[in-house]
Amino acid sequence: MADPTTLRDLALEVARAVAPEIRRLAGGTPPDGTKSSATDLVTVADRWSEQQIVTRLLDARPDDGILAEEETSLAGTSGVRWIIDPIDGTTNFVYGLAGYSISIGAEIDGEPVVGVILDPALGNEFVAALGAGATCNGTPIRVSGQSDLAQALVATGFGYQADRRRNQAVVLVEVLPRIRDIRRGGGAAMDLANVAAGRLDAYFERGLSPWDLAAGTVLVREAGGTIGDLDGNPTDGDFVLAAPPELRDALAELLRSVRADQA
Ligand code: IPD
């Protein structure tokens, strides 16, 4: 049976091996193509990062499964599955803006147990394993504990389809006057890491993929936060709300009232 802390340490070692090259390439790597729409970028660095991470994980644990953003999907036989975003926040990466990250999560028998998010631009390492807490650069982190919706700093993100963006902007028209402010950092994984560290009070988004949120899910939970859909159920990304327990219900009610989960 795999041990979450052993998997966590492997994920950190692998992410650390890749991060310096990603940082070196940030801001100097043009898009090499687009995916779901003309604004959904991919670069050679995304593919290089994925290949490096997958190779290193499988060298150490050849029987594990893998799901990664750019192309890798392997079933595995060990019960462990790695869920990888080799560069989350590719637009920030292309422009040389902080906010992109390397995100490696792991599940055992479908349960999220490891979250490692490395922020090459600022040098932050967010790390968590089920039952072992969450840290940033080795220091324990906690969600903010904010309970007042009107004082909450809330991050969000936007999809790549024009119609969805129009709807997401309409949601913001209703949400923005009722909270402290909105942040759009450019990377879902970093937003979740920042919720875990109490640097944002909450985060919501419609239309994420499993690799955007796998590692962040474990970080938020181990930092004392909640993550799920609007009803608090586990989510595969269709709608994600991460918040301290004290804030969750009020924010969920506001988001439900403006149909944020259908935007
Ligand atoms: C995207 C980023 C962005 C979020 C999008 C994601 P990518 O991931 O996390 O912040 O708003 O929903 O798809 O495409 O840069 O890996």
Q: What average pLDDT does this structure show over 30-53?
A: 89
Query: 163-168: long-range contacts (C-beta < 8 A, 24 or more apart)?
Result: 164/206, 164/207, 164/263, 167/262, 167/263, 168/206, 168/263
pLDDT digits (tens, 9 = 90+) for 194-250: 999 999 999 999 999 999 999 999 999 999 999 999 999 999 899 999 999 999 999
Question: pLDDT at position 33, please?
Answer: 85
Q: Give the residue, by CA position, lying nearest to ligand 1 atom 1.
A: 89
> What fold characterizes domain 149-262?
D-Maltodextrin-Binding Protein; domain 2 (3.40.190)
Between CA 85 and CA 34 the distance in angstroms is 16
**Cβ atoms 127, 5 nearer than 8 A:** no
User: Is pLDDT of 192 > 90?
Assistant: yes
Higher pLDDT, 14 or 30: 14
pTM to 2 decimal places: 0.96
* pLDDT at res. 210: 96
**Nearest-atom index, ligand 1, CA of 211:** 16
Residues having CB closer than 6 A to ligand 1 are 69, 85, 88-91, 157-159, 186-188, 205, 207-208, 212
Domain residue spans of the chain: 4-140, 149-262
What pLDDT is stored for residue 40 in this prediction? 82
Is the pLDDT higher at 31 or at 174?
174
128/31: higher pLDDT: 128
Q: Which of 100, 172, 208 to mutate for ligand 1's pocket (most ligand atoms within 8 Å of CB)?
A: 208
| CA 234 to chain CA mean position, Å | 15
Which residue's CA is minimally distant from atom 11 of ligand 1?
157
pLDDT of residue 83: 98
Over range 73-78, report the average pLDDT.
95
> Quick check: 18 pLDDT over 90?
yes
- pLDDT value of residue 35: 81
CATH of domain 4-140: 3.30.540.10
Name the residue of 67, 84, 85, 88 to mutate for ligand 1: max ligand atoms within 8 A of Cβ: 88
pLDDT digits (tens, 9 = 90+) for 95-110: 999 999 999 999 999 9
Centre of ligand 1 to C-alpha 186, Å, is: 7
3-state secondary structure of 116: strand
CB 242 within 8 A of CB 255: no
Name 17's Cβ contacts closer than 8 Å, sequence gap at least 6: 52, 56
Report pLDDT for 134.
Answer: 98
Query: What is the chain's mean pLDDT, rounded?
Result: 96
